[in-house]
Structure 1
Amino acid sequence: MEPVYRTLELIAFGLRGVQGLRIDRRGSDNIPASGGAVLAINHTGYLDFLAVALGVEARGRRIRFMIKSEMMDIAIMRFLINHTKTVPVDRSAGHEAYATAVDSLRSGELLGVYPEATISRSFEIKELKSGAVRMAAAAGVPVIPVICWGAHRVWTKGGIRKIGYTRFPVVLEYGSPIDVSGVALDSTASVDEKVSQVRETMSTMLHAIQDEYPHPAGEPWVPARLGGSAPTADEAKVIEDDEAARKAALRAAKRESGRG
């Protein structure tokens, strides 16, 4: 039953009602009825995980997300992580999280991964990290590309935050499973080839959804490609690299203060 997870599901249903979000769910049959899989999800906002989790719940399954280990420093988050089989990721000890994730997949869990690592400020698919493919290949499970579009209008980076009854339409699509059984984990070229396939599939899915979604010109949540004022991919990379450097400096300073 997992009472803590069920409580979170009920909260998610409530939040969807409060926001009035209209979720157009597609490809739910691509979520396996049983057995493990890596769900590779695009990352455009802070609440896209809610739509993805609700879609998985409607299929009678639960998703276990990978989350930054810094969340373990917050008491309530530590409680939730420990009671929902969430996998915390410590950048300084990534191998441990990798092994935990692979074990989770082998035991039949659905693992939610954001292969872009951080929110895409351009709202296009960024370069992907290889972890999703590597974990799936090691566990012998498929990668399922997942696209969520519209939830970023509620809350994302760049000052976009509209909490309330918005009735924003959200499109959620679970793509066809991608077989990674032929990936040679000791070959960077083999891994990179499959990562490229996943990224190309996600980009194709995202653009198809974006092209049918109404996008008012000049809006900050609309990609530059579609006439919005969101930064281009190149502009976003500069912002994100600066942000990553600042965070790395803060982590280094925290480590140093801990040694003092």
Structure 2
Amino acid sequence: MFYWFLKWVALGPLLRVVFRPQAEGLENIPTDGPAILASNHLSYADWLFMPLTLPRRVSFVAKAEYFTAPGLKGWFQKTFFSGSGQIPIDRSGANAAEGALISAKGVLGKGELFGIYPEGTRSHDGRLYRGKTGVARLALETGVPVIPVAVVGTDVVAPPGKKFGKVTRPQVRFGKPLDFSRYEGLENDRYILRSVTDEIMYEIMTLSGQEYVDMYATRAKAEAKQAEREAAAEKKAS
């Protein structure tokens, strides 16, 4: 299987030798059966280091563009992402979130692990932002446990806006599985979905030690960029 070749023969040993990632709480990962791994998101390198610490395959959603690019580069890109367990999702359409949910259910239905970043996008400043309720809906509709995950140090390896930073030793911390079976049948209750999501984010915050901001990361990024533009304009005017 190409994924295992990629992980153990090609890329995995190199990352292990160079970065020596550490893992805590591996006993919280089931040896078989489905589970949702809900993680913070500091860097594009997160999806490399988190699965690297596990003996089981973890699937994530990825941009559809990674699978449709033309030419030789596109072929290698498609092979890489498909082989490493990524699932193509077109996030430009109105039904992108629903498409991601369907794909996730397919992974879990096979008894596999599905990784998700509830923040929806990478943190631009290292803080933990409000989670989107898709993770709660997925957990309630499938009845699958949620394992909170915290990655630490990947934003040093690959800082926001840069391809590479500096070598450090990333840590991946797996929390105890969260069971939300008490909310069975309430997956359409938005208050329940928010409560479940907030509980998951609290556990991630506890594991990561990040400062929590009760704002969506996309909005925070937009406000930060606007503030930068205003500061630049003010500096230019003076």
Please report how far the alpha carbon of residue 188 of structure 1 lies from its aligned counterpart in structure 2 after TM superposition.
0.3
Report the Cα offset of residue 177 of structure 1.
0.6
Q: Distance in 2 between matches of 1:112 and 1:172?
A: 13
Tell me the residue number matched to 2:229.
none
2:69 is equivalent to residue 69 of structure 1: no
Deviation at 1:174, TM superposition (A): 0.6
Task: Give 2:144's aligned residue.
Answer: 141
Aligned alpha-carbon RMSD (Å)? 2.7
Of 188, 191, 194, the residue aligned with 2:190 is 188
Counterpart Cα distance in 2 of 1:244 and 1:16: 33
Q: Gaps spanning 5+ residues in structure 1: where?
A: 211-222, 226-231, 246-260
The answer on whether the counterparts of 1:64 and 1:111 sit within 8 Å (CA) in structure 2 is yes
User: TM-score when scaled to structure 1?
Assistant: 0.73
**Percent identity among equivalent residues?**
28
Does the aligned pair in 2 maintain the 1:145–1:201 contact within 8 Å?
yes
Following superposition, the deviation at residue 156 of structure 1 comes to 2.2
Q: 1:233 to 1:181 in 2, by over 3 A?
A: closer
Change (3 A) 1:15 1:133: farther
Mapping for residues 24-103 of structure 1, pairs under 5 Å: 24-57=22-55, 61-74=56-69, 75=74, 76-91=76-91, 92=93, 93-94=95-96, 95-103=98-106
* Separation in 2, partners of 1:77, 1:66: 15
Amino acid in structure 1 at the alignment position of 2:67: M
CA contact (8 A) 1:124 1:233 kept: no
Partner Cα separation in structure 2 for residue 137 and residue 186 of structure 1 = 9
The residue correspondences of 1:104-123 to structure 2 (distance < 5 A) are 104-123=107-126
Q: How many pairs align?
A: 214
* Cα distance change, pair 80–233 in 1 and its aligned pair in 2 (3 A): same
SS in 2 for 1:132: helix
d(CA) in 1 for partners of 2:128 and 2:66? 25
Q: Secondary structure at the match of 2:106?
A: helix
Q: Distance in 2 between matches of 1:162 and 1:108?
A: 36
Alignment match, 2:205: 203
Residues 122/186 of structure 1: CA separation in 2 closer, same or farther (3 Å cut): same
Task: Find the counterpart in structure 2 of residue 241 from structure 1.
Answer: 222
Structure 2 stretches lacking a partner, 5+ long:
227-238
Partner in structure 2 of residue 216 of structure 1: none
Correspondence list, 1:130-169, <5 A: 130-159=133-162, 161-162=164-165, 166=167, 168-169=168-169
Query: Which AA in structure 2 matches 1:127?
Result: R
Q: CA deviation at 1:161?
A: 2.5
Q: Displacement, 1:41?
A: 1.2
Ranked by relative contact order (alpha carbons within 8 Å, sequence separation 6 or more), the top structure is: 2
Distance 1:244 1:145, change over 3 A: farther
Structure-2 change in CA distance of 1:84 and 1:102 (3 Å): same
**CA drift at 1:172:** 1.1
Q: 1:229 — aligned with what?
A: none
CA contact (8 A) 2:119 2:132 kept: yes
